[in-house]
Amino acid sequence: MSERIQKILEKEDWNRNDLIQLLNATGEQQQDLFKKAHEIKEKYVGLKTYYRGLVEFSNYCYKNCYYCGIRAGNKNVERYDLTDEQILEAVQFAHQNKYASVVFQGGERDDKEFIERIENILYKAKALTNNEIGITLSLGEQTLETYQRWFEAGAHRYLLRIETTNKELFYKIHPQNRKHNFERRIQALYDLKRSGYQTGTGVMIALPFQTTEHLADDLLFFKNFDVDMVGMGPYIEHKETPLYEFKDALIPLKDRFYLSLRMIAILRILMKDINIAAATALQAIDPIGREKAVKAGANVIMPNITPTINRTNYQLYENKPCIDEGADDCTTCLEARITIAGDTVAYGEWGDSPHFKNRTKKAEDIKP
């Protein structure tokens, strides 16, 4: 068996079956996979971790994803919306601490007031930092026009997880209606690319009803879509959600964790020069989960810089880490952990995905 994995690791191109075998690797074979991913990381993107200061600015959401703790249907959540000043303060914190980039993440909304507010904050965040701060958005599905407006206003990366690329599974974890539509979500990813964003997607790993075959197809989707960044992590059940009903069908947390690390390592080897985030959900399972992901090929970490008082109300899943810590605590804590994992923190660098540069350059070269 070990030899078989070794043989796959030595191949130039992987087919679906190779991916499935790699996803099932255990013990020594799994170690070989992580080692290879680390080598590829060093060669193509360097042993550096980029920070993106995460601002979870609002937990109002008009969607009802079956897995998420802040879904509209959960009436036990105390809803909050940071003020513009609080958001800008977090941006200032990131800038002063040389994080170089921030991510604005929030529940999904598409009303006019919201769209204008984001646009306005983008301009302000840029002005506040001499245009220096890099801004990633993670605000769900929007129209092409909205994506373009926000791009114009200064955002240059966007994360929109497809959650799963298997349509049938997609509708087991989401309602099926106007607000939750598989084709619409795929279209949104194309609209993001078309608007000029470095485009990121991702999936949840070890969902109920999910198979290794589904995950192999997810990896192939990332490759075919030619994505610039990926953020993916383990599914963690939340009591106040409909999917909780299937908790007995889940594999143990530790297995979900290692399956997630294998997804990261395989993807690093498959798409050498993209950015891969070490999802916070990894740390909800293992206290040094994100650092283990860094060793297995991830190169982006999103330290939470949301004001501490609001963190308890942004629990997409249970056991979310760093809920009581302030942004300063996380900065010192993380740097030590990343150094131990063998990376340096790339302070003051945007850390754009080299893949994006290579893909847009290629497009330039073939223009007549």
Residue selected from 22, 37, 54, 65 as contacting ligand SF4 according to rule CB under 6 A: 65
Interaction between residue 292 and ligand 5AD (CB under 6 A): no
The residues pairing with 277 across neighbouring beta strands, listed in sequence order, are 231, 300
Residue selected from 70, 271, 278, 345 as contacting ligand SF4 according to rule CB under 6 A: 70
User: DSSP assignment, residue 131?
Assistant: T
What is the C-alpha separation between 160 and 105, in angstroms, rounded? 10
Rule CB under 6 A: which of 120-159 touch ligand SF4? 140
Where do the H-state alpha helices sit in 129-239?
144-152, 167-173, 182-194, 212-225
Q: Which residues contact 195 (CB under 8 A, 6 or more apart)?
A: 144, 147, 148, 151
Burial label, 78 (beta-carbon count in 10 A; 0-12, 13-18, 19+)? exposed
3-state secondary structure 330-342: HHHHHHHHHHHCC
Interaction between residue 352 and ligand SF4 (CB under 6 A): no
Rule CB under 6 A: which of 60-79 touch ligand 5AD? 67-68
Residue selected from 263, 330, 338, 346 as contacting ligand FES according to rule CB under 6 A: 330
Interaction between residue 322 and ligand FES (CB under 6 A): yes
List the one residue out of 313, 236, 244, 311 whose CA is nearest residue 77: 313
Interaction between residue 334 and ligand FES (CB under 6 A): yes
The option from ligand 5AD, ligand SF4, ligand FES, none interacting with 322 (CB < 5 to 8 A, set by class) reads ligand FES
Pick the stretch among 125-133, 209-217, 235-243, 291-299 that binds ligand 5AD (CB under 6 A): 235-243
Nearer to ligand 5AD, 238 or 295 (CB): 238
Q: Kindly give the pairing relationship between strand 48-51 and strand 344-345.
A: parallel
List the one residue out of 269, 316, 262 whose CA is nearest residue 25: 262
Nearer to ligand SF4, 29 or 166 (CB): 166
Nearer to ligand FES, 245 or 329 (CB): 329
Burial label, 148 (beta-carbon count in 10 A; 0-12, 13-18, 19+)? middle
Residue selected from 135, 204, 265, 267 as contacting ligand 5AD according to rule CB under 6 A: 204
Q: Which residues contact 284 (CB under 8 A, 6 or more apart)?
A: 236, 317, 318, 319, 320, 321
Residue selected from 89, 110, 213, 325 as contacting ligand FES according to rule CB under 6 A: 325
Asked if 70 and 314 count as a contact pair (C-beta separation under 8 A), the reply is yes
The residues pairing with 229 across neighbouring beta strands, listed in sequence order, are 200, 275
Q: Which residues contact 133 (CB under 8 A, 6 or more apart)?
A: 91, 94, 95, 100, 101, 102, 125, 126
Question: Which tokens belong to 275?
Answer: 């950015």
Interaction between residue 333 and ligand FES (CB under 6 A): yes
Nearer to ligand 5AD, 236 or 261 (CB): 236
Nearer to ligand FES, 77 or 330 (CB): 330
Rule CB under 6 A: which of 297-316 touch ligand 5AD? 316
Closest separation between CB of residue 51 and ligand FES, Å? 11
Nearer to ligand SF4, 70 or 293 (CB): 70
The 153-192 contact track toward ligand 5AD, x by CB under 6 A, reads --------x-x-----------------------------
The option from ligand FES, ligand SF4, ligand 5AD, none interacting with 329 (CB < 5 to 8 A, set by class) reads ligand FES
Cβ-closest position to ligand 5AD: 317
Give the footprint of ligand SF4 on this chain (CB under 6 A): 61, 63, 65, 68, 70-71, 107-108, 140, 316
